[in-house]
Structure 1
Amino acid sequence: MANYSDLGDIFLVAPVAFGVVSALRKFLDLPHRLPRWNRWLTWIWVPGGLLYLGARVLNIQSSTLDEAYWLLVLAGVMAVLVAVRDYRPARSLLLAMGPLALYWLIEYLLELPTGKVPKQYDSALDTTQVFVSIWLITFIIIARSQKKTLEKERVLREEEEKAKRLIEAQNAQLEHLVNERTAALTHQAEELRAALTELKTTQAQLIQSEKMASLGELTAGIAHEIQNPLNFVNNFAEVSTELVTELEEERDKPDRDLELEADLLADLKQNLQKIHQHGGRAASIVRGMLEHSRQSSGERTPTDLNALADEYLRLAYHGLRAKDKSFNATLKPDFDPNLPPVEVIAQDLGRVLLNLLTNAFYAVKQRQQRGEPGYAPTVSVSTRRVGDAVELRVQDNGTGMPESVKAKIFQPFFTTKPTGEGTGLGLSLSYDIVTQGHGGTLVVESREGEGTEFVISLPA
């Protein structure tokens, strides 16, 4: 403190204090942190000037006023540091100024009585002054280091904020683009949905058309197949009427022949049994037609595959004969008598059999029309148990298929028949019914010019 007093004139102390305070204001960034305090500190030279004028007018020794002014400046600086103590460099400067302020206060108090420090305190004060100076310089360096670190952090934060704002702007732009793209995709999705709905409607119409075509084949077959039991019923009914007439005539005779009456009654009973038998056959054919034509319930029931295959073999054959009376073929059923009932959807599997058999008869008819000598159209249906599965085979000795056709045979809308004779959905629907509806397999084996065999495998 004495070295500052040696300036000898407070007129020189005020500019020095102003410079120190200005450096502090800049170091602590007071214009932004404490704007009001910053304005007040710009007038820190005013008290020094007033003290200088007072010393001149009153002829007072300037050294005492110098010390008082420095204490005032120091108090102002300490107050500012306390006000911005949340700022780490400010806390470091506060720690740096603490010992200096205490040292100046003690020295000032010791000088008050005589204006000089007693000699017995010189050594202690000199040692203390060295310690205070080292302490002050050390914490000033620390404060400067902290300020640089905080400045780097501030610059880094600003860069991060700038990058964040840039990312937000890019995100906003991307979001705008995404919204535009989403709107376009939504519009396309709506168009595709409408197209899909129209496609499903068309597909349903084609499937219904295919079902009606198979129903037409079935109806034609039934019309021929049902004719046989109806003829039997009519014939036996006519014979039964004649037997009843003979029985009535015999009963009216005075001399009745009981043995003849017994024979007539036995013949009548046998005829009624035949009528019942063929009537049941006709009823089963009609029932099969109704089951085939109605919507499938989707419920699996134990089904005799031998009876189902035999029935549709004959119906498919008679269906083709209804269109062409000249067509004849050999039917070869080969059924496993020990085949147990299999859980299937009878209506759906009946459609599959009808489709495969209709194609088989169509193939042998096409080969027959070529006029090959010695050719005999033959279609066979067989069943057998193979491990945990049941196999149902439909085989013909028709035209067969080349490999290029066989690779596409189960594709929707693929057909080798002329326009108007097939939709190309029969085998595709049959494949779906067997594989998806029953968990089985449907494969085809064929050689061109030799024949074709379809193999249905179902879980037993």
Structure 2
Amino acid sequence: MIILLYIRDILYIYFFLFCFLFGYRIFYGKHSKWFILASIILIFIPYYAAFALYFFIAIFLVFLSIKSKKRELSVRILLYSLTLSYIITATGLIYRYSNLTDDFSLRLIMVYSDTIGKAILFLGMLAFVAYRMREKNEDMRQNAMELVKVEAEKSALITSQNEKLELKVKERTSELNQSLEELKATQSQLIQSEKMASLGELTAGIAHEIQNPLNFVNNFSEVSNELVDEMNEELDKGDLEEVKAISLDIKQNLEKINHHGKRADNIVKGMLQHSRSSSGTKEPTDINALADEYLRLAYHGLRAKDKSFNAELITNFDESIGKVNIVPQDMGRVILNLITNAFYAVNEKKQRDVNFKPIVSVSTKKTDEHITISVSDNGDGIPEKVKEKIFQPFFTTKPTGQGTGLGLSMSYDIVTKGHDGNLKVETAEKKGTTFIIELPN
């Protein structure tokens, strides 16, 4: 019986200790190590000191309740209910061990204090849970509002950044378009410069070609004047047969004068046609005559600069080709550019080797699918690493001032884009190079 009473007293002590620890936990959110140590020591406290412990815990809980006025409502409710439950339970226990139990009202308090205290604590815990959930919901709502606010700020920031980025893109696009227009203008000027440079290459050759028919015209004119004088003498003599023979010679001379005059006229027209901007209109053109003319003009143009230069010119034209539908100004520039490059290659090799015999050949051929124009030389050929770049704009192996690097690039565009053809190169180092123009048949 004594043991049971002792156990009951210990349980009472631990109930109050539980209230003490629970209140501390609610308020501070954690337990200190000395609280656990104190709970072990409390088992061995003297019986008469229990009432002092009850009183101390009551003061502590009241202190926490007062101090919790700045805490959440759920914490305050739980602390208030815990404090009230503790005070009622402790009061009943004190009355139980006192001598005042004869009073009926006090006996009621003693009997029902545990029940009332537990009920108050239970209701306080329910209220704590309810308010705690409401506080959590409020926190979640606040967090959601903060999240919405942050997302709105992010969205506004993204919109602002997008607007700035779009503005920068527009400015950059405008700058690029302006740069593109400037590049196009520069390219047009360079292309025109390349055309004029090729015309300059022809100038000496054209002068040479015109000089020949002019010499024939002058010679036949002088001979014709002499024949006219002879014819007048024969008329005075009355020898009509001799007059007729002389008149036939004069007629032949006039035909030759007319032929060489037309030849000079064709040379001038060709020069003017080459210097004019391309109309882009295709017309039937004698490819063989075009290639032969530019071969001779380019050759005499080079000889006008360097009298010591001589080369063997070989032509092999397929007469079955007839007239081909091309833009003559453009295709003439391509052929001239390829022939000029061929003469440049053999001339460079000739300057290093006096025993070298330059050969430049131009040939045409008609197949079922293509009409080909080939320009070949026996120069040094093109290195493989250079071959991959020769059709790139502004690429040149010539010294500064001797080439713009647009000749082959322009030629490639004229053949491929302007005539739906192909321009390819076959080369062997130290042996020579052949450029082949393929036009659709």
| Interval of TM-score (by shorter of Structure 1 and Structure 2) | 0.5 to 0.7
Q: 2 CA distance for matches of 1:316 and 1:158?
A: 89
| Cα deviation code 1:323-350 (max 9, x no counterpart) | 1122111111100011132111000000
Matched with 1:439 is 420
Partner of 1:349: 331
Shift of 1:158: 12
1:306 to 264, 288, 313: 288
Answer yes or no: is 1:241 the counterpart of 2:262.
no
Alignment CA distance shift 1:160-1:350 (3 Å): farther
Give the match for residue 182 of structure 2: 198
The answer for unaligned runs of 5 or more in structure 2 is 1-139
Where in structure 2 are the equivalents of 1:209-248 lying within 5 Å?
Answer: 209-248=193-232
> Compared with structure 1, are the counterparts of its residues 164 and 247 closer, same or farther at alpha carbon in structure 2 (3 Å cutoff)?
farther
State how many pairs are aligned: 303
Q: Which residue of 1 aligns with 2:349?
A: 367
Question: What is the one-letter code of the residue matched to 1:383?
Answer: T
Does structure 1 residue 378 correspond to structure 2 residue 359?
yes
Report the CA distance between 1:162 and its aligned residue: 8.7
Give the alignment of 1:106-121 within 5 angstroms.
none
Match of 1:186 in 2: 170
Tell me the SS of whatever aligns to 2:399. coil
Q: Partner amino acid for 2:189? A: Q
Residues 1:419 and 2:403 aligned together: no
Change (3 A) 1:436 1:260: same
Q: Letter of the 1:328 partner, please give it.
A: N
Post-superposition shift, 1:266? 1.0
- Separation of aligned partners in 1, 2:156 and 2:233: 109
Secondary structure at 2:330 match in 1: helix
Q: Distance in 2 between matches of 1:230 and 1:410?
A: 40
Which position in structure 2 is the counterpart of 1:389?
370
After superposition, where does 1:70-85 map in structure 2 within 5 Å? none
SS in 2 for 1:352: helix
Aligned partner of 2:313 in structure 1 is 331
- SS at the partner of 1:369? helix
| RMSD (Å) for aligned C-alpha atoms | 2.2
Mapped partners of 1:212, 1:338: distance in 2:
33
Match 1:294 to one of 276, 280, 285: 276
TM-score computed with the length of structure 2 as normaliser = 0.65
Distance 1:167 1:344 in 2: 66
**Where do residues 241-260 of structure 1 align in structure 2 (5 Å cutoff)?**
241-253=225-237, 256-260=238-242
List runs of 5+ in structure 1 lacking aligned partners: 1-155
> How far apart are residue 372 of structure 1 and its match?
4.6
Cα distance per residue 1:157-207 (max 9 Å; x no partner): 999999777655433321111011111222222222232233222222221
| Aligned-partner Cα distance in 2 for 1:167–1:247 | 113
Code of the aligned partner of 2:369:
D
Alpha-carbon distance between aligned partners in 1 of 2:279 and 2:181, rounded to the nearest angstrom: 24
State how far apart, in whole Å, the 2-side matches of 1:443 and 1:315 are.
24
Counterparts of 1:166 and 1:341 in 2: how far apart (Å)? Answer: 77
Q: Percent of counterpart pairs with the same letter?
A: 60
CA distance in 2, matches of 1:248, 1:372: 57
1:111-141 alpha-carbon deviations (Å, 9 max, x no partner) = xxxxxxxxxxxxxxxxxxxxxxxxxxxxxxx
